[in-house]
Structure 1
């Protein structure tokens, strides 16, 4: 009876603590995805603003640094757009982020250009490709993908390779490229600057009416200082071994002076989960130490994780298990567990915990995939999962990934499941 009372009391305290921490998580996500944080990229010090904020949270929670402070600093190359990014069709100015995005590796360019248009379907004929190359000298090549359909995956792959050739090759004499699409706009970030400007446009436009386009792009390839932020809670009985939680805090930043990419789900939500777990385990430390790593430069090629595993602040061989939290803001349909089929014992433990407590609708298994920060640790032999939530909003790498529309449907239950999982070691 006494044991039952203690268990009930503990569960009640845990539920109360996490209930309060939903408001804490909302505050974290709201701030990190606000205009003040500049999209957490490398224009107007967005990445540095976010790092300082997370560092301050580490301090307030009471995490210990491995060194004199929480930062693991290094430099990266990044192509940025700190000033104008303008595109006009004749006299109609398109809206950046909503109507178009610029290719992340684009250089600077300013001018008014004639156009040559070809459909994606037309590019399946060699003669049309040759004509497109011949006719585009000094012009903008417009490739219309909007009505293209094909079930032949190999043909589509080859066609996309051809389009990349037309967009970027110095053998093609065009001034730049515009791809018209009916798909959602999804931006990226690049560590390189190419030789040609390229835009992707999603707007209902009659291409027959386009005679001239106007372009103004200011791009800079810079070397930017950035940093991982690392702290830990000391274990009660085996402090030399570690459980690890990681989440990247960087995002895409700004595209010109006006447009920023909030990154609420990707990955302010993952940072909120990281900090929520840190608050819990500070209050209830487990037998093993727990390291919390807010990683930078994930969007530019998992660079922050690579920096950490090449210069680890603790012995990676003493890692009991690591979980990478990314896209943690929905959960209507459960979670997907990358590396679940690799570490089947731990995956089965996770599913058992979920079944016993009915936390989430599903815990779905997936194999290995080098698609986020966990990959660098996995390649070093660190047992790990990468977990992301399923269902809810579809916003991703666009201007619509906002705090205001992020449901956080199962955030608290997801946190409870992960606490149970960590405590099982």
Structure 2
């Protein structure tokens, strides 16, 4: 009878993880769909994503940290909602795949001859340049420049750029409205003390009317893992409260996490530990923990759990870095790790970071590692 009970428990746990994996995959597919348009700054992409996450928090049964799940704030951003035309030597190029434009570019409409500066750099004039690149990666600008640089993929272009036709429309938004999405499961013994899990839900949005950046690994995977953990903790309340924060504006310069730290919905001193998830959709080559050398005891504990449970193949240590939403918490004295996985697809800040190619290699093991770490920290 004892063996049957153990077997049923194992089967039940396996089925639970299978269900969670399906939920995570479905969430990533949803967040990377055209409806959310790269969870960015045109076509209401970021707002739609925030609404979706608020609805998921309600379905799961989380409580708001404040009066609402959403914590609103604003920041400046340069956007590209309109025309995105680039022709080189009379051939139209595809946005995102054949070219990208500098993220601080102003509107520009011009037809001119390109002068070679060297083998990879060309210019119509000092304010309009072309550069040949091996890889096209984009980002978000919070200001507008007087210059436009058009980066062209070497893979998709042969010959020498001689003639350029360009028509680009930008729109600078001084006060773009965004929201952090914040919820919690109250602790059974120490409700005023909190363990926190965070992930940014924004990505790069769109470049023109027809091209958007899906952001599957960056960071739909992190958000989906956070939501899966929220489901677990709602069903399994812990002695400490567990907080869940999905940040906006990370790609524009950690805007959402900075705003939260400056306007916290709970005393930051009450945060016992924080884990930030960003780029966690792979794992073939293990994972890295930022702040490992800042909090060596916590890192040693995480490694001990990982070794005992035989979960992640390798955990790399990294020091302090201002490269994701953990940073401003650390600056305020909140113990925090930023976790990202490694290996697998190399798509990053490009149109190829897609749900269908994201392996989620270490989702289950990372989930178990976080749960066990938070049981003992």
Query: What TM-score range do you get, normalising by the shorter chain?
Result: over 0.9
User: Could you tell me how far apart the structure 2 residues matched to 1:13 and 1:404 are?
Assistant: 28
Partner of 1:189: 140
User: Could you tell me how far apart the structure 1 residues matched to 2:9 and 2:204 are?
Assistant: 41
Structure 1: runs of 5 or more not aligned: 124-139, 143-172
What secondary structure is seen at the aligned counterpart in 1 of 2:114?
strand
What secondary structure is seen at the aligned counterpart in 2 of 1:254?
coil
Partner of 1:205: 158
User: Deviation of residue 363 (structure 1)?
Assistant: 1.2
1:220 to 157, 164, 171: 171
Post-superposition CA distance 1:47-103 (Å, at most 9, x none): 001001111110000000022210000111110000111111121111111111000
User: Deviation of residue 315 (structure 1)?
Assistant: 1.0
Partner of 2:90: 91
User: Deviation of residue 334 (structure 1)?
Assistant: 1.4
What secondary structure is seen at the aligned counterpart in 2 of 1:276?
helix
1:217-296 matched pairs, under 5 angstroms: 217-222=168-173, 223-296=175-248
Post-superposition CA distance 1:111-134 (Å, at most 9, x none): 20121111169x9xxxxxxxxxxx
Post-superposition CA distance 1:354-405 (Å, at most 9, x none): 1111111111111111100000100010000000011111000000000000
Structure 2: runs of 5 or more not aligned: none
The total of aligned residue pairs comes to 374
User: Deviation of residue 229 (structure 1)?
Assistant: 0.3
Partner of 1:366: 318
Partner of 1:407: 359
What secondary structure is seen at the aligned counterpart in 1 of 2:116?
strand
- Are the aligned partners of 2:197 and 2:242 in contact in 1 as well (CA < 8 Å)? yes
- Are the aligned partners of 2:108 and 2:168 in contact in 1 as well (CA < 8 Å)? yes
User: Deviation of residue 332 (structure 1)?
Assistant: 1.1
Partner of 2:128: 176
User: Could you tell me how far apart the structure 1 residues matched to 2:268 and 2:5 are?
Assistant: 36
User: Could you tell me how far apart the structure 1 residues matched to 2:119 and 2:191 are?
Assistant: 59
- Are the aligned partners of 2:345 and 2:358 in contact in 1 as well (CA < 8 Å)? yes
What secondary structure is seen at the aligned counterpart in 1 of 2:249?
coil
- Are the aligned partners of 2:199 and 2:246 in contact in 1 as well (CA < 8 Å)? yes
- Are the aligned partners of 2:288 and 2:317 in contact in 1 as well (CA < 8 Å)? yes
What secondary structure is seen at the aligned counterpart in 2 of 1:370?
coil
What secondary structure is seen at the aligned counterpart in 1 of 2:339?
strand
What secondary structure is seen at the aligned counterpart in 2 of 1:245?
strand
User: Could you tell me how far apart the structure 1 residues matched to 2:105 and 2:9 are?
Assistant: 55
What secondary structure is seen at the aligned counterpart in 1 of 2:221?
helix
Report the structure number with the largest CA radius of gyration.
1
User: Could you tell me how far apart the structure 2 residues matched to 1:235 and 1:9 are?
Assistant: 29
User: Deviation of residue 219 (structure 1)?
Assistant: 0.3
User: Deviation of residue 9 (structure 1)?
Assistant: 7.0
TM-score between the two structures when normalised by the length of structure 2:
0.95
Partner of 1:40: 39
User: Deviation of residue 261 (structure 1)?
Assistant: 0.2
1:18-417 matched pairs, under 5 angstroms: 18-119=17-118, 141=123, 174-181=126-133, 183-203=134-154, 204-207=157-160, 210-222=161-173, 223-417=175-369
